[in-house]
A and B are shown apart, each in its own frame.
Chain A
Amino acid sequence: MTTVTNMPLSDLLKSFKLKTKQQELLIRVSILCLVYILAFITRLFSVLRYESMIHEFDPYFNYRTTLYLTQNGFYDFWNWFDYESWYPLGRIVGGTLYPGLMVTAVLIYRILHFLRFAVHIREVCVLTAPFFASNTTLVAYFFGKEIWDTGAGLVAAILIAICPGYISRSVAGSYDNEGVAIFALLFTFYLFVKAVNTGSLAWSLASAFGYFYMVSAWGGYVFIINLIPLYVLVLLITGRYSMRLYVAYNCMYVLGMLLAMQIRFVGFQHVQSGEHMAAMGVFFLMQVFYFLDWVKHMLSDTKLFQAFLRITVTCAVVVGTIALGLGMLSGYISPWTGRFYSLLDPTYAKDHIPIIASVSEHQPTAWSSFMFDYHILLFLFPAGLYFCFKRLSDATIFIVMYGLTSMYFAGVMVRLILVATPAVCLISAIAVSATVKNLTVLLRSKNKGVLTGSTKGSSSSRASSKALLDQSQPFQKNGAIALLFGAFYLLSKYATHCTWVTSEAYSSPSIVLAARGAHGNRVIFDDYREAYFWLRQNTPVDAKVMSWWDYGYQITAMGNRTVIVDNNTWNNTHIATVGRALSSYEDEAIEIMRSLDVDYVLVVFGGVTGYSSDDINKFLWMVRIGGGVFPVIKEPDYLVNGEYRVDKGAAPKMLNCLMYKLCYYRFGEMLTEYGKPPGYDRARGVEIGNKDIKLEHLEEAFTTSNWIVRIYKVKPPNNRW
C-alpha cells in the first residue's frame, strides 16, 4: 500500500527538494493522519444508516450512568445507589462499575463545552468508541515501531484501523467499556515494552498509569496483570533477566497495584483474589532473583553460590507455597471466580454457570468467525510469528506471548477475539512489512539507481542487514514483482472485506432491526423503542417491569422504569426467580410476581417478523437458570425426546408455561405468511401448538406494531374473591 502511494508523491516531493529523511517523515505523518481519519469514519456506517444512537444492551447502562454523571457530578456518581434496577435489592452503581468509560466521555464532553461546542452527551457517547479506535491506531504505530520498525508500525496502524475484530466493538454507538479498554490495553503494553527496552523509570511509571486507566475502564485488566508477570517469568527462565526488566516490572507492579486499588470495584481484590496472585508471586520472585544476583556478585566461589542458591530457592518456594496455602485456607485469598475458570476450561461454564454460558458472546469461537474477523490476518499471523522468532528480542517475545495467549482466549470466548485483535494486527504487520521489505530490497539490489524516491525501500535497505535470497536464483526479480502484486492483491482484498463486514454485520444497532422487504427495499423494525417509549409514557413512574435480564438495561435507560433484573447479572438467585416465574404455569407465576411487586411483564417475540433472538429461543436458558436454583423447574419437562418444540408436539408444560402464553397470546388468530395456517411462527417455521390461550391474571397492555415486544399488565387480585 505504501509503495503505491509513494510513486506520485515522490515526484511531488522532488519539486520541494526535501531531504530523504524529511520526505519520509512527511509521508509517515500523512499516512498516520489518513489512517487516523479512516479509523474514525469507517466506524460511522451505523450513524449514516440509522441515526446517532446507542447500540445494544450494555451501552445503554453506560449511557445512563454517563448521563447521571453529567447531571449530578462525580461524587454523586461515585455514591450512586440505583433503586430502579434489581428491585427490590437495588444496586450500588458507583461501586460495581468500571468508571473509566463514563469519566472519559464526560471529560470529552466538558472539553467540548469549554471550547463552546454545545453538543449533547449522547453524541459524545456515540462517538467515543471511534475516537478511541483512532487513538489505538496511533498506539499501534508506536508499538509496531518499538518491536520492529516504522514500516511495521505503519502497517499495524492500517491493519488495526479497519480490522473487523476490533470494529465489532467500536462502531459509533457501541458505547461500551471495550471501546476505550482496547486503547488502554495496547497503550499499557506499549509503555511497558518501552520501559523494558529502555529500563527507564519514567516509562515504567507511565505504564503504571496506563494500567490504572485500563483498570478503571474494563474488567479485562486481569489479562494485563497476568500476561506481564508471565512475560517476566519467561524472560527470567530464558535468561533474559536484566536491570531494565527489574525496574520496569517492579515500578509498574507496585504503582499499578496501588492505583488499581483506588477503583472501588477492584479495591482489595487486587491483593486478595486468586487472579492477581501470579503478579504478586512474580514480584517476590523478582526480588529473590535480584538478591541472588547480588550474592553472586559478592561471592566469588561458584560452589558456595550453588549451595546458597539451592537453599534460597527452596526456602522461597516453601515460604511462597505456605503463604499461598494459608491465604487460601483462611479465605484471605479468594479463589478464582467462575468466569476465570471458564476461560481456562471452556466447558466449565456450560456445566456450572448457565448464566455465563447463556450469553452468546461467551460461546466458544467458531472457525468461521475467526475468518470473518481476521480475514488474511489469520494467515499472516503465523508468518509474523516466524519473523518474530527469527529476530528475538525482549519486545518480540512480548508480542509473541501476547499473540499466543490472546489467541487461546479468543478461541475460548467469542468476545475475546477483541483482545487478540491488536496482537494479531501487530504480528501480521511484522509479516507484511518484513516480506514487502525483503522483496523491495531484492528489486532494488539490481537497479538501485532507478528507485531512489522510494523512501520505504531506502529505510528498509538500511534496516535489513541480511540479504535474504540467493542472488543467483532465476526470475528473481519477476518473482518478487509477482509476490508484491500478490501481497497488494491480498491487502486490498482485506480492505474490501473489512469495509463490507463493517457495513453489513457490525453496524447494526440491534435495537433497531432492519430486514429486506419483498421488493428488496429496507424494512425497519423500530419495535424496541416503540415499546420502551410506551412504557415511559403510559405506566406509573414507580411501575416495576419484569422481563428476562437481557432487556433490563434498556428498560431502565429508555423506558425509565424499575426492573427486577438486568444485564449486570450479579445476583443469580434473583435472575433464577424471574426464570422460574416465566417457566411456571400462570397461577404459580402470579404468586412470584406478586411477591416481587411486578406491575408489567415484557417479552420479546419474533414469531411475526422472523426475528430469531427472541424470548422463546432463549427460553431454555431461563429454564436452566431457574432450575439451577429452584429444582422444581426441570428442563426435560419442556422438551419432547430431548427436542425443543413449540408446535403441536411440544411438551404440555411448554405449551402452558407463562412465557409461551405471553408470547403466543392471540397469535393463533394471526395470519403471518401467505399460504400458511394462522398462528404460523416465522422465527421457528412451525404452526404453534396452543392457539387458544386464555390469560387469567395478566392482560395484554401493549404490543408493538410488529409484535416484537409485548407488554402485559398484572391484574390486581379479583375484587370479590
Chain B
Amino acid sequence: MKSLSFFFFFIFIISVFPFLCFSFNPESPTDRRVLVLLDDFSLKYSHSIFFNSLKSRCLNLEFKLSDDPSLSLQRYGQYLYDALILFCPSTKKFGGSLDLTAVIDFVDSGHDLILAADSTASDLIKNIATECGVDFDEDSSAMVIDHKSYAISGTEGDHSLIVSDDFIQSGAILGKTKIEAPVLFKGIAHSVNSANSLVLKVLSASPSAYSANPESKLLNPPLLTGSAISLVSVVQARNNARIMIAGSLDLFSNRLLRTAVQKAGSQDKYHKSGNEQFVTEISKWVFHERGHLKAVNLRHLRVGETDEPAMYRIKDDLKFSVEIHEWSGKNWEPYVADDVQVQFYMMSSYVLKTLSTNGKGLYLASFKVPDVYGVFQFKVDYHRLGYTSLSLSKQIPVRPFRHNEYERFITTAFPYYGASFTMMAGFFIFSILFLYNK
C-alpha cells in the first residue's frame, strides 16, 4: 500500500514535471509565469487595468519590488519565469542576483521582456534597452514634446502629453481591428539603432515632435526630432524572444487608458484613448498569443514511395511538404498563406517553388531534382512582419546515376552496335578462313 502511494506520488511528480520547467513551451504556451518588477507597489493599482488584462489571459503575474534582495530569475539553472516586465524605470540597481547580463541572458534564452521607461529612467534601464537595439535620449531631462499633435487637456501649454496614431502596419503585432483612437504618450524618446535589423518602430512620433527638456529653454537644436523618434518599439530576437520597449510608463496607466482624447487642431474627439487597445494587443504579441508560427513535419518523398530517402538521385521526382501552424493563444491553428516558398539549395537556389496549401496547415510542392549532384538543402525561409521567423533547412545529398542506371541500349547508337557486331563476325570468319584455308 505504501509502495503504491509512493508510486502514485512518483507518477504525480512525473506528470507535474513539465510544468516545473518554466521556459516557454512551444507546444502549449499557457500558464506562463511573468515576473513584474516595480519601483513601488502603488503601480500595481495605478496600472491595474493592464495587469488585469494580462491576468485574464492566463498569465501568472508575480509582483516584486525591483530592489527585492531575493530577486532571481533562475534556480538550479532553470528559469523560474517565462517573461519579465520591467516597470521600474528609476531603479539604479536590481536586488538579488539580477543585473544587466542576467536580463540579457534571460532574453537570449528565449524569454520575453516588456520594458517601460520614463523621464526618471536610470542608466541600468537605458543600458538594457541599448542591448536590445534601442537608444534612449541621452539627455536625462528630455521628454518628447510636440507642439502640433499634443493632447488637449486642462493645463494649456503642456505639450509633453502627446498623441500619436502612427502605428506599424502589421496585423500580427497590433491585431486585426484597427486602433481608431490615437494613443496618449507622455515619456521619453528613443531611436532605433540602424545597425539592428530586428528592431521595429511600432509607434512613431509625428514629424513635428522633438526631444528636449520641457522646463528649460531650448539652446541647441534637439538631437532627436520628427519621425526618427520612436515611442514604442519591439524586437523579435533570432530565437524568437519578443521584447517591447516603451518610452513611457504612463502609457500603461489606468489614467491614460481611461482618458478621453482630442488631438490638437482636430475636431475628432474620442471618449477613450487608444491606449487600452494598443497595450493589450501589443502585449498579446509579446506573449506569443499572436504571430507565433511553428513549422513541423518537414517531409520529402520520392514520388511513388512512402519512406523518406536518405539520398536522392539526379532527375528524381520528389514531393515536399511541411506543416505550419499558428498559436492562437489557446491552441495551434493552421496557418494559411499563399506566399510560403521552398528552395532546393546548394550555394544558390536551384529550385524555388511556392508551396500550395490545403488550408489545414499542410503545405505541398513537388518538383524534379535538378541535373546537378551535390549536397542540397530544402530551405524554407519565411520572414513576415510580426510573425515568427521560420528558417528551416534539411540537408539531403543528391547523387549521380549508378553505373547500371543508364540506358542500356540507345537508339542513336545502333549504327555503332551494328559496326561492332559485324566487325566481330567478320574477324571470326576471317580467322577461320586464314587458319584453315590453305
Residues of A within 8 A of B (CB): 75, 78-79, 81, 83, 87-90, 92, 542, 562, 595-596, 716-721
Contact = CB atoms under 8 A, between A and B. Distances in A.
A92 B402 contact: no
Given A90-B373, A92-B373, A92-B400, A720 B107 contact: yes
A721 B376 contact: no
Given A88-B347, A90-B397, A716-B238, A721 B195 contact: yes
A580 B195 CA distance: 26
Nearest to B405: A79
Interface in B376-397: 376, 395, 397
Contacts of A595: 347
Most B-side CB within 10 Å, residue of A717, A718, A721: A721
B108 interface: yes
B196 A83 contact: no
B195 to A, nearest CB: 7
Given A720-B133, A721-B196, A721-B197, A87 B108 contact: no
The 5 closest A-B pairs by CB, nearest first: A81-B399, A83-B397, A88-B375, A79-B402, A719-B237
A596 B348 CA distance: 11
10 contacts: A79-B399, A88-B346, A88-B376, A717-B238, A719-B237, A719-B239, A720-B131, A720-B238, A721-B196, A721-B197
A51 B239 CA distance: 48
A542 B243 CA distance: 33
B115 interface: no
A453 B202 CA distance: 109
A81 B373 contact: yes
A664 B413 CA distance: 62
B438 to A, nearest CB: 21
A90 B374 contact: yes
Given A719-B238, A721-B196, 19 more contacts: A75-B402, A79-B402, A79-B403, A81-B373, A81-B399, A81-B400, A83-B397, A83-B399, A87-B375, A89-B375, A90-B373, A90-B397, A595-B347, A596-B347, A718-B238, A719-B107, A720-B107, A720-B131, A720-B238
Contact of A720 (B108, B400, B402): B108
A345 B197 CA distance: 55
B350 to A, nearest CB: 11
B249 interface: no
Contacts of B243: 720
Most B-side CB within 10 Å, residue of A83, A87, A596: A83
Contacts of A596: 347
B121 interface: no
B398 to A, nearest CB: 8
A89 B347 CA distance: 9
Contacts of B399: 79, 81, 83, 90
Interface in B99-152: 104, 107-108, 131-133
Contacts of A79: 399, 402-403
Contact of B235 (A78, A87, A542, A720): A720
A381 to B, nearest CB: 46
Contacts of B374: 83, 88-90
Interface in B342-389: 346-347, 373-376
B241 interface: yes
A591 to B, nearest CB: 13
B375 A83 contact: yes
Interface of B: 104, 107-108, 131-133, 195-198, 235, 237-239, 241, 243, 311, 346-347, 373-376, 395, 397, 399-400, 402-403
Nearest to B199: A720
Nearest to B193: A721
Contacts of B132: 720
B124 to A, nearest CB: 17
Contacts of A562: 375
A78 B401 CA distance: 11
A717 B197 CA distance: 12
B253 to A, nearest CB: 28
B237 to A, nearest CB: 5
Nearest to A574: B347
B394 to A, nearest CB: 10
Contacts of A720: 104, 107-108, 131-133, 196, 198, 235, 237-238, 243
Given A83-B397, A88-B375, A721 B133 contact: yes
Most A-side CB within 10 Å, residue of B238, B311, B375: B375
Contacts of A88: 346-347, 374-376
Contact of A90 (B107, B108, B375): B375
Nearest to B396: A83
A468 to B, nearest CB: 51
A46 B24 CA distance: 58
Contacts of A90: 373-375, 397, 399
B23 to A, nearest CB: 15
B397 A81 contact: yes
A87 B104 CA distance: 36
A90 B238 CA distance: 31
Contacts of B311: 81, 83
Nearest to B375: A88
A95 to B, nearest CB: 8
Nearest to A89: B374
A75 B239 CA distance: 46
Nearest to A717: B238
A721 B104 CA distance: 13
Given A81-B400, A88-B346, A88-B376, A719 B108 contact: yes
A274 B394 CA distance: 44
A217 B238 CA distance: 52
A596 B108 CA distance: 25
A662 to B, nearest CB: 24
A508 to B, nearest CB: 35
A668 to B, nearest CB: 26
A76 to B, nearest CB: 9
Contacts of A78: 403
A719 B397 CA distance: 30
Contacts of B347: 88, 595-596
Most B-side CB within 10 Å, residue of A88, A595, A596: A88
A104 to B, nearest CB: 21
A266 B196 CA distance: 54
Contact of A719 (B241, B402, B403): B241
A716 B376 CA distance: 21
B46 to A, nearest CB: 31
A716 B196 CA distance: 16
Contacts of A721: 133, 195-198
B198 to A, nearest CB: 7
Most B-side CB within 10 Å, residue of A75, A87, A596, A716: A87
A83 B395 CA distance: 11
Contacts of A83: 311, 374-375, 397, 399
Contacts of B375: 83, 87-90, 562
Contacts of B346: 88-89
Contacts of A81: 311, 373, 397, 399-400
A562 B375 CA distance: 11
Nearest to A88: B375
B349 to A, nearest CB: 12
B392 to A, nearest CB: 14
A276 to B, nearest CB: 22
A86 to B, nearest CB: 9
Nearest to B402: A79
Contacts of A542: 395
Nearest to A542: B395
A90 B197 CA distance: 34
Contacts of B238: 716-720
